[in-house]
Amino acid sequence: MDADKGYLAVLTHLYEKSLILHDIGMFHKVLYFYFIDALAHIDYTCSIYTFNYQSVKNVMGGEYLRWRIDEERKGDRAKFPSFINWLKCEYPEKFAHLPSLWQMVYDTEDPAGYRSFRIVLDPDSRNEIPINMFFIMIDEFFDPDFLKSLYSDASLATLFDSYINRASS
């Protein structure tokens, strides 16, 4: 029961975050999709740990995550995972500053991933992800420098567009 309360505290921490100081309309469309997607996976994973699997919150979260499977295949979104691996090789310092969830889930050498919409760091483990890791993940996604890098004319977005242009030629 204490763990349930801990994951509820994580959800509260997530829900108290705000993008009010940012113009999300100016965010790079692909990076914004994966930003919101990562937050949805954090929300869903913590919600599964906190609420009954069939709670309305979890059913709604699962429906969004089912929808996003098709959405991630559209246009340049499909190139995002390979972009992360390209960053790892070509710009390791930039890769090192990405949110750890993106590093783990999209790095082809890391076993972490999304399984049944949940974040799974080690597929061979049945242990829940430690509560403190979720706090870290959330804070990384809301780091002001990271958020600034999501704008269409900012560093991460420029690198993504450069990667797409190279892949297209």
Token pair recorded at residue 55: 């709670």
* CA atoms of 94 and 87, how far apart (whole Å): 7
pLDDT score recorded for residue 123? 94
pLDDT score recorded for residue 121? 96
pLDDT score recorded for residue 3? 58
pLDDT score recorded for residue 167? 82
pLDDT score recorded for residue 1? 40
Give yes or no for a contact between 51 and 11, defined as CB atoms under 8 angstroms apart: no
Please report, in tens digits, the pLDDT of each residue of the chain (169 residues total): 445 679 999 999 999 999 999 999 999 999 999 999 999 999 999 999 999 989 999 999 999 999 999 999 999 999 999 999 999 999 999 999 999 999 999 999 999 999 989 999 999 999 999 999 999 999 999 999 999 999 999 999 999 999 999 988 7
Q: What SS3 state is found at 75?
A: helix
- Residues ≥6 apart with Cβ < 8 Å to 52: 58
Q: What SS3 state is found at 25?
A: helix
Token pair recorded at residue 62: 């699962």
* CA atoms of 132 and 67, how far apart (whole Å): 29
Q: What is the pLDDT of residues 65-96, one digit of tens each?
A: 999 999 999 999 999 999 999 999 999 999 99
Mean pLDDT of the chain: 94
| CA dist list (Å): 54 to 14, 49, 58, 168 | 21, 12, 6, 43
